[in-house]
Amino acid sequence: MEAIIINFRRGRHTQKPSHAILEVPKVETKKDSAKFLNKNVFWTSPAGKKITGKISASHGNKGLVRSIFEKGLPGQARNTEVEIK
């Protein structure tokens, strides 16, 4: 299954590049997003390197999920696809 990186987790003055907010297609409620908790996530760079992460929590009431990657993601990762296993 695939998801799209919407943005990084951020505050007013800070941004956390290892935390990403993901949108999973056809998931529209917080209850539906609960089944994705603790699943592994893989982002592949244009050069072919894989950065792995894990879905940690739901984010908001519209079905978005929050994931934590081992290493910080580059800015070019926004609006790209990740693979959920």
15-65 residue pLDDT tens:
999 999 999 999 999 999 999 999 999 999 999 999 999 999 999 999 999
Spatial CB neighbours of 5, under 8 Å, sequence gap ≥ 6: 20, 21, 22, 43, 73, 77, 78, 79, 80, 81, 82
65-76 residue pLDDT tens:
999 999 899 999
pTM of the model: 0.89
Fold of 2-84: Thrombin, subunit H (2.40.10)
Q: Where are the domains of the chain?
A: 2-84
